[in-house]
Homo-oligomer: A and B are copies of this chain.
Amino acid sequence: MPVLLAPDQAIPLDRLLAEANVFGVDCKPVPGAGNPLIRGLGSLSSACAEQISFLSNPKLQDQLFDCRAAAVIVTPAVWETQLKGRELSFVPVLCSEPYLMYALLAQWFDRHRIAKLPKGIHPTAVIADSAQIDDGVSIGPHCVIEDGVRIGRGSRLGPGCIVGANSVIGRDCLLHARVTLYHGVTVGDRAILHSGCVLGADGFGFAPDPRGQGGWAKIAQLGGVVIGDDVEIGANTTIDRGALENTVIGNGVKLDNQIMIGHNCQVGDHTAMAACVGVAGSTIIGKRCTLAGAAMTAGHLTLGDDVHISGATAVTSSILKPGRYTGVFPFSGHSDWQRNAAVLPQLSALRRRLRALERQQASDATEPGQTSSQ
């Protein structure tokens, strides 16, 4: 539904596709179908005139014929079987990967928005003399950049970001408003960091205080955090600094909101975690893993590559074999749950009773006549 460009900024379809298609996806309008001006991007059901839409989910195919978009991206197969020869109100764009092309178009529109944001360094930002800020860096109002920080070319910090001493931010990063980096945190190129995320807070480490009363002696956390390239970190997510070594987030890792990554963890390249996931300290997660929402892992575990954890699952031991793993108590109506959950504390006893019956039966079967004769 968003109309994203003002009328005088509308862009011809062919130019939009060329500019957006940074991956070189196979994507072109049906020849001769026209070259409408495009101002936005919408779903099949909500896109209106001067917008482009896409069909990636076959279930939505019927929406094609009511779609009011100026252009619609479809696969060649859909074009051949559904659209060719029909009178269409939109320009069909044939593309091998409509969903990916949608992603690239959305990126194009967002880049267009970002390009118009204020540039330069706001006078209310407080920047240490020793900080090295590359050309073309934008720093918003009320940011604080401490001693020894380096920020790479083309990066943009929204209002109220705080970058602790000696931290490093790579090139072309986008820090939304109010991102906090403690000291000694390194972020690679093209990171997207969302508001409220905190990188480099102290890991949770204490030694029992032997002087009694159950007190704790803080283990000051001397390691850092190292974030690879092309990482996105969601709003209010926290990644703690290591105790002695670094906490390490690999390239291309995508973390949603409200995630907690404990100290000394390592997260492999391209692993993605949905919101509310917690990874306890010193756990190592492989490449291309996914952790669905609210999944939790204990500490000091190893998850191998290509491990997929279902939502709300608590991982309490290492997983070395690729695959999908789940552990969720199925919900039900409350009284059904009460009735069935009440049996759980008896499960072990039930198994014992079942075994006893089986033994009895086996004994009955192998000793014919015994049951009735004794």
Contacts and interface: CB of A to CB of B under 8 A. Distances in A.
A351 B2 CA distance: 54
A16 to B, nearest CB: 14
A41 B223 CA distance: 10
Given A216-B270, A326-B338, A351-B346, A256 B196 contact: no
Contacts of A299: 293
B296 A311 contact: yes
A77 interface: no
8 contacts: A23-B217, A126-B142, A160-B162, A180-B195, A234-B238, A278-B294, A315-B331, A339-B348
Given A316-B311, A343-B350, A177 B180 contact: yes
A40 to B, nearest CB: 8
A234 B278 CA distance: 14
Contacts of A240: 235, 257
Given A314-B312, A336-B345, A103 B207 contact: yes
A315 to B, nearest CB: 6
A99 to B, nearest CB: 5
A115 interface: no
Interface string A94-115: 0001011011101101110100
Interface string A228-255: 0010101110101001111000001010
Q: Which of A103, A208, A339, A365 gathers the greatest number of chain B CB atoms within 10 Å?
A: A103
Secondary structure call for the A interface: loop
A103 B218 contact: yes
Q: Which of A269, A310, A311, A312 gathers the greatest number of chain B CB atoms within 10 Å?
A: A312
Interface string A173-202: 000111010110000000010111010011
B41 A222 contact: yes
A313 B340 contact: no
A4 interface: yes
Given A218-B103, A236-B236, A43 B326 contact: no
A156 to B, nearest CB: 13
Interface in A289-335: 293-294, 296, 298-299, 309-316, 323-334
A82 to B, nearest CB: 22
Interface stretch (A7-15, A60-68, A131-139, A354-362): A354-362
A369 interface: yes
A284 interface: no
A215 B269 CA distance: 8
Q: Which of A100, A117, A122, A210 gathers the greatest number of chain B CB atoms within 10 Å?
A: A100
